Structure formats: C-alpha cells, structure tokens
Structure 1
Amino acid sequence: MEKLSISDLHIVLVEPSDTQRKIITTLLLKENVKEIDPVSTLAEARTAIKSHGADLIVSAMYFEDGTALELLQFVKESSEFASVPFMLVSSENRMSKLEQLKQAGVAAILPKPFEPLHLSRALNASLDLINHDELELDLFDVQDVRVLLVDDSRLARNHIRRVLEGMGLKKIKEAENGATALTLIKDEPFDLVVTDYNMPEMDGRELSEFVRFNPETAHIPIIMVTSESADSAHMANIQQTGVNALCDKPFEPNEVRAMLAALLGE
C-alpha cells in the first residue's frame, strides 16, 4: 500500500470552541494538511467518522455531550475505525484523567497551547502508525519473533499489538496480567516481553523480576510500557529489576522501532 504523507491526511477535528477550532485548523493548514473536517460535538464527530471515515482524529477533552474518552472508546471498539490514530489536544493535566486516555490507546497528547513543533511531531507519530515499515533485523526474521504482550487494558493491548504488527511482528500472544503471563512463559518460549507496569494480581515489576531471575528466561529482553514519570521512585525500582527499556504511554512507533532494533539485534 502506498504510504501517506501529512498532505494526504483526512483529519476529523473535534473542538467545541469556535476560536480553538479556527486556531487548530490554521496550524494544521500550515503543516500542509489539506482535508480537515471540523465538528463541535461528539455526536457530530461520530456522524462524520461514520460518513466519511478519517485518517486521524484530533479531539479536545470535554464537550457538552461527553468526553474525548467516550469518542476514543467508540473508535477503538469499532472494527472499521480501530486503527485510526487519535490525538488529544487539551489543557487537562490531571494524571487520573489522562491515564484513562493513555490506557485506551491515544496516539499523542498535546497541551493547550502547543507549539507548532509539538504538532509536527504528533502528526508524524500518527503517520508512523498509519504507514507500516517492517523492522529489519540481522539475527531474526522479524515475523518469527515470539512476543508476549502483557496489559490489563484490552484497548491498550490492541493499540500496542497494532504498532508491533505494523513493524512486521506477527507471533504475538497476549496476557491480561503478570500471573497469566507467567503461565504462558512457563509453557512456551518467547523472544521478547512487552509489559505494562500497573496491573492487578501481579504487576509488571514482579513479572520482570521473575523473568530476569529465572535461569530459563533471564535472556529475554523486557520492554516496560508505562505512563509513570521516568524519574519517579517506581521507575527507579523497576530499572533495578533488569528491564531493558522503558517506553512511555502513548509511545511513538519510531521510539519503539529503535528499541526493538537495539534489543533484538544484540
């Protein structure tokens, strides 16, 4: 399939404020976006997406008829639109609110106001999700790499799976927590573990400790996916368990690609 560029993108812009819609539209036009479908409510957004589709959804957080989380869940739970990247533009900075969006698979979060550089980066990260580039490895055929994906959020697993599959990884098994993952690890071999940090029953830190300190699995690279701050006490403790790489939610495909190339190319 031919790759899209920023100028090819059809964007549905969901913003309740007339002024903000005009500002964001102007900035998108400056980035060479040609097709923008501006709407002001969730109902209008659903109608626009169902009628015309979208390559990217750019949405504010709060509307008179709901929130961005509801729209994101509508998109991600639809077989037709689940692969459409979703970008949040909001002044919301409460971690509890943003965490829900991150867990549901938002592709990028931009603060209000944002710099043109931030918008450009977010647009390119969204393009990376749309345009699939197979990862080239010296020691593996990427399609033979056996991945264990562990996250208690189904939407988050779906998002991470799509990113990995876009890079050519096909053999992906899923687990909803560390305890289930342990059962799988004991029964079959894996070349890579990608795990969330916050999970019930057994979290990512406990899972990583088991993998790293068990002689039969100690060699498996581990990528920890988390929305925790990189300099938090939790992250310092996690790095001591032997996790090979920490990856933010939402994570950018280019960042993940570089991590995979380094970990699987060793």
Structure 2
Amino acid sequence: MELSSLYVTVIEPSKVQRHIIIGHLNSFGIENIEEFEEAKPALEHMLVTPPDVVLSSMHLPDMTGTDLVTQMRGLEALEKITFLLVSSETHYRYLEPIRQAGAIAILPKPFSREEMAMALKSTLDYVSDFESDSDSDEYDALRVLVVDDSTMSRNYIKQMLDSLSIHSIDTAADGSDALQMIDDGARYDLIITDYNMPNVDGKELIEHIRSHSEQPTVPILMVTSEQNESRLAAVQSAGVSAICSKPLSYDTVKQLIEQLVTDYDM
C-alpha cells in the first residue's frame, strides 16, 4: 500500500489553510481528498464513505476537533479511523481529550512537510496492518493488559494491538483494578499503562508489579501525555520498560512492542 492510495477527509474552515494542507497531501501523490469547512457535513459524508484518515482543525464553526473525534469514536463505522489534528492550539484543556481519544498525531500550524510525512507514514502502516487479510501467528500466544482510565484511549490501544494481530487483551480502568487482576493470578506477557489515573496511578502500579507481584520482570510500556520531567524520571526509576508519549504514533508503538516482547524471556 502506498501513500497515494490513502483516502483523506480534510476539515478546515479557512480556505487558505485547506489549500496548504491539500497541497502537502498532493505532494505525496494523494489525490483522493474530500474537503469540508464544518464537522457535521463531514461526519455525514464519512458515514457513507469512511476515509482512511481525517485531518481536522481544532476550532470549527459547528464544534471543536475534540467534539469531532469524540463523536467519531462513538460511532462503530468511524471509531477506527485515524485522526490527525492540525492546530496552533496549545491549551491542555483542548489537547488532552484529543490525545486520549487516540489521535495519531498533532501537527502544529505551520507544520513542515517532514512532520506530515511522519504522520501519514504512521497512518499508512496502521491501515495496511489493519486491512491485512492474513493474521500473523507471531503474537498468537501473547496476553496483554491495557490500563487506562479513558475508555476511548483503551479502545484505541486495543485497535492498535488488533492491527498487530494481538487479540488476547484484558483491560483495567485504573491501577487499582489492574493490581486486583494481577494479584488474583492473571499473568501477562506485556502491560501497557497510562500514568495519570485515579486510585492507583501508573508509577504506583509499576512499583507494585516490580516489588510485590509474581511477575516482576514483565515488560511494562507506559503511554502518557505527562510532560513533567521529574515525574517521568520517577517512573523510569520505578522500573518502566519504555515510555511512549501521547498522541500515539502507530509505528512507535509497534516498534516498542516488538522490541519489548522479543527481549522478554517468557
């Protein structure tokens, strides 16, 4: 599958900005593009003809990009479509729900051709793996626990794992639920956890697994939007195997999982 085969929906109220975005897409050979100024007509069109990826601005005339991706994740026909935010927005209140909903990238305004290329490459790999007719048996025996207090984030991570032909997946809404499952005897080949969660956060979960569980060496991948360096350093000290920032790049997650599972002596 090539970049030129991607079907893209662009939602941007500014005609100038749409022209710039579509120009970049055309430079990668992508011609199958639908463009909209507002989200509602775009959603209606997507339900009839689902695209491979949606590129949307944050501030739209009829809703925010956050509202848009939340609605998409609530619709079976659109929940697995990759979402790319193109915005100069920096406010945590707007960006955090986008990260949690599983945006594959957040591109700034202005963005470089290289930044878009990386985001589109990740989208292409995700779509190619998801649409592959032949399931790999490489991860058939793999059992994974996904821990995140965001339902949308858990679902998006599960979709990524499903694209990698990982189907034995348990989920927990926070670290407390995860610890209960582990203490009850559930064994995992990989644990993927958020950091900021109620009751028991990601750091506390890792510390318990490393010091008090029967599987102290299980690989633990943390996916988080946390930016505080001292907190992330504390997670490293607690024994996390790897940290991946939200929004999640499919390529990065895929490489990290392959590395962690290969290096883990099961």
Q: TM-score, normalising length from structure 2?
A: 0.93
Verify the 8 A CA contact 2:69 2:83 in the aligned structure 1: yes
Query: How far apart, in 2, do the equivalents of 1:166 and 1:52 lie?
Result: 21
Q: Identity rate of aligned residues, in percent?
A: 35
Query: Is structure 2 residue 248 aligned with structure 1 residue 251?
Result: yes
Verify the 8 A CA contact 1:144 1:170 in the aligned structure 2: no
Q: Map residues 199-218 of structure 1 onto 2, 5 A cutoff.
A: 199-218=197-216
Verify the 8 A CA contact 1:42 1:63 in the aligned structure 2: yes
Cα offset for 1:236? 0.7
Q: Deviations over 1:239-264 (max 9, x none)?
A: 00000000111121221222122211
| Residues 39 and 124 of structure 1: CA distance in aligned 2, closer, same or farther (over 3 Å) | same
Match of 2:257 among 255, 260, 263: 260
Verify the 8 A CA contact 2:183 2:213 in the aligned structure 1: no
Match of 1:92 among 89, 93, 109: 89
Query: Is structure 2 residue 226 aligned with structure 1 residue 228?
Result: yes
- SS of 2:232's equivalent in the other structure is helix
**Aligned residue in 1 for 2:57:** 60
Unaligned runs of 5+ in 1: none
Q: Map residues 64-79 of structure 1 onto 2, 5 A cutoff.
A: 64-79=61-76
Cα offset for 1:5? 2.0
Query: How far apart, in 1, do the equivalents of 2:219 and 2:194 lie?
Result: 14
Q: Deviations over 1:104-141 (max 9, x none)?
A: 111111000000001111111111221117998xxx94
Q: Deviations over 1:138-170 (max 9, x none)?
A: xx9411111110000000001111111111111
Q: Map residues 40-51 of structure 1 onto 2, 5 A cutoff.
A: 40-51=37-48
Query: How far apart, in 2, do the equivalents of 1:84 and 1:220 lie?
Result: 31
Query: How far apart, in 2, do the equivalents of 1:84 and 1:5 lie?
Result: 17
| Residues 80 and 193 of structure 1: CA distance in aligned 2, closer, same or farther (over 3 Å) | same
Unaligned runs of 5+ in 2: none
Corresponding pairs, count:
259
Query: How far apart, in 2, do the equivalents of 1:135 and 1:263 lie?
Result: 20
**Aligned residue in 1 for 2:128:** 131
